[in-house]
Amino acid sequence: MRSGEMWRLLSRFNSFRRTHVILQHLRMSKHTDAAEVLLERKGCAGVITLNRPKLLNTLTVGMIRQIYTQLKKWEQDPETFLIIIKGAGGKAFCAGGDIRAISEIGNKNQKILQDFFREEYMLNNYIASYRKPYVALIHGITMGGGVGVSVHGQFRVATEKSLFAMPETAIGLFPDVGGGYFLPRLQGKLGYFLGLTGFRLKGRDVYTAGIATHFVDSEKLDTLEEDLSALKAPSSENVADVLETYHTKSKIDRDKSFILEEHMDKINSCFSANTVEQIIENLRQDGSSFALEQLKVINKMSPTSLKITLRQLMEGSSKTLQEVLTMEYRLSQSCMRGHDFYEGVRARFSRVILVLQMSSNVWTHKLGRRSQKEFT
C-alpha cells in the first residue's frame, strides 16, 4: 500500500475518532464525575465549586442534591459565616441544567424528571431565603439553571467575561428557575425582552441590567475570594463593603453605555403588549433595524414557548418567588409531556454536532493535503 493511501486511511480514522470523542462529550447523560461539585471550607466561608468544566458546569440532579444538603449544614454551622459559589474552568459559571440528559430521561422515567425540576426549584427558593450572605461569582457563561443558583442570592458578582441569557424559548421551554419572578422586576420591559428573545448580555451590561449586584475585574476574583474568606465573623454589611471596594476600583467598561440603552424605548413600547401576536405586530410596525432583527429572532422560537413565557412573566410580576416556582414546576411538567422541548433539544444538538463534524472534516482535509506531500 502506498504512503498516500495509508495517510488517507489514517486521516479518516482520526476524523472518526475525534468525532466519536466529541459525541461522547455531548452525551451528557452518560457523563459521570465523582467530583461534580467541590465543597470546602476556606476561612469563614463555605465554598461551592461547580466542577464540570468540559460541560460548562451544567447541573445534574446529583449536584443539586449535594449543594442543597451542604447549604443546610453550613447554615447551622456557627463557624461558617458566608457562602461563595463559583464555576471551575474559567469558561462558565454554569450554562444551565443538563438538558440533553433531561430530554433523554424524560422519555423513559417521568419520576426522575419530576425530581429534577422539583429539587432544582427547592434549591432556588432556599438560596433566596438563606440566612447567611450568599455570593455568586458569575464569571463566564451563566444561563438557565446557572441563573437559578445565583440570581436569587444576596450578592452576584459579574466580570468582563460574564455572559447572561435565558434562551429557553429556543428549545421549547420557558425561562424557569424563578425567571417569572426576577425578569418582570427588571427595568421597564427589559425582562420580557430577555425572556422572549434569549438576548445575551455580556460583561458590565449584566450589572447594568440588574442581574448582578457588583462588577469586578476577572483577574481580581481570586483576591476577592481570599479577602471574603479572611473576614472575621462577617455580617452582610461587612461582605457588602468588601464587594463595593472591588466594584469601585474596577475601571473596565466603566464609561461604556448599556448595550440596549438606545433601544429601551422601543423595548418598552413593543414588549408591553398582552399577547405574542401584538408584540410581533408592534415590532413589524416599528420597522427599525433593531425591531426587525428581534422579529427574526422571535420567529425562530417555539410559538408555544413564547405564549407560555409571556403569560408566565405577566403572572409572575405580582407573585412571590415561592408562588412563581410552584407555577413554574407545573409548567415544566406540562412541557415535559409535550413534544416541543424534546424536538428543540434534538435540533439544537444536531446543529452542534453538524458544525463540529464539518469543522473536523475541513481540518482533516487541509491537514491531509499538506501531509500527503510530505509522505509521497
Is pLDDT at 373 greater than 50 in this prediction?
Answer: no
* Mean pLDDT value of segment 13-18: 46
Is pLDDT at 170 greater than 60 in this prediction?
Answer: yes
> What span, in angstroms and rounded, lies between the C-alpha atoms of 334 and 106?
12
Q: Is 376 exposed, middle or buried (0-12, 13-18, 19+ CB in 10 A)?
A: exposed
> Other CB atoms closer than 10 Å to residue 322's CB: what's the count?
15
Mark whether 145 is an active-site residue. Answer: yes
Q: What is the pLDDT of residue 14?
A: 47
User: In angstroms, what CA-CA distances link 105 with 67, 117, 350?
Assistant: 22, 13, 18
Q: Tell me the per-residue pLDDT of 288-297, one tens digit each, with 9 for 90 and over.
A: 999 999 999 9
What's the pTM value of the predicted model, to 2 decimals? 0.83
Reported confidence tier of residue 39, pLDDT bands at 50, 70, 90: very high
Q: Tell me the per-residue pLDDT of 264-322, one tens digit each, with 9 for 90 and over.
A: 999 999 999 999 999 999 999 999 999 999 999 999 999 999 999 999 999 999 999 99
Can you read off the three cell numbers belonging to residue 341? 422541548
Is pLDDT at 66 greater than 50 in this prediction?
Answer: yes
Q: What is the pLDDT of residue 108?
A: 66
Can you read off the three cell numbers belonging to residue 232? 472575621
Q: What is the pLDDT of residue 59?
A: 95
12-16, 168-172, 203-207: which has the minimum mean pLDDT? 12-16
Is pLDDT at 115 greater than 80 in this prediction?
Answer: yes
Q: What is the pLDDT of residue 360?
A: 43
* Mean pLDDT value of segment 353-369: 43
37 vs 13: which has the higher pLDDT: 37
Pick the catalytic residue from 43, 97, 178, 191. Answer: 97
Q: What is the pLDDT of residue 75?
A: 98
- The one-letter amino acid code at 287 reads G
Pick the catalytic residue from 98, 168, 205, 225. Answer: 168
Pick the catalytic residue from 98, 120, 176, 205. Answer: 176
Contact between 102 and 144 (Cβ < 8 Å): no
Contact between 142 and 163 (Cβ < 8 Å): yes
Q: Tell me the per-residue pLDDT of 215-231, one tens digit each, with 9 for 90 and over.
A: 999 999 999 999 999 99
Each as own residue / partner, the long-range contacts of residues 353-356 (CB below 8 Å, 24 or more positions apart, any chain) are 353/22, 353/23, 353/26, 356/19, 356/22
* Mean pLDDT value of segment 229-254: 97
What is the percent of the chain with per-residue pLDDT over 70, rounded to a whole number?
78
* Mean pLDDT value of segment 13-42: 58
Mark whether 176 is an active-site residue. Answer: yes
Q: What is the pLDDT of residue 110?
A: 74
With b for 16 or more beta-carbon neighbours within 10 A and e for fewer, the 4-14 pattern comes to eeebeeebeee
Q: What is the pLDDT of residue 339?
A: 58
Pick the catalytic residue from 144, 145, 148, 180. Answer: 145
Is pLDDT at 148 greater than 70 in this prediction?
Answer: yes
Average pLDDT, the chain: 86
Q: Please calculate the CA angle 51-57-63 and round it to the nearest 5 degrees.
A: 65
Q: What is the pLDDT of residue 112?
A: 78
3-class DSSP state of 44: coil
Q: What is the pLDDT of residue 357?
A: 44
Q: Where are the alpha helices (DSSP H) in the chain?
A: 3-26, 61-76, 99-106, 110-128, 145-148, 179-182, 190-197, 204-208, 221-229, 236-249, 264-270, 276-286, 289-299, 303-316, 321-337, 340-375
Q: What is the pLDDT of residue 72?
A: 98
DSSP states of 124-158: HHHHHT-SS-EEEEE-SEEETHHHHTTTTSSEEEE
Contact between 242 and 255 (Cβ < 8 Å): no
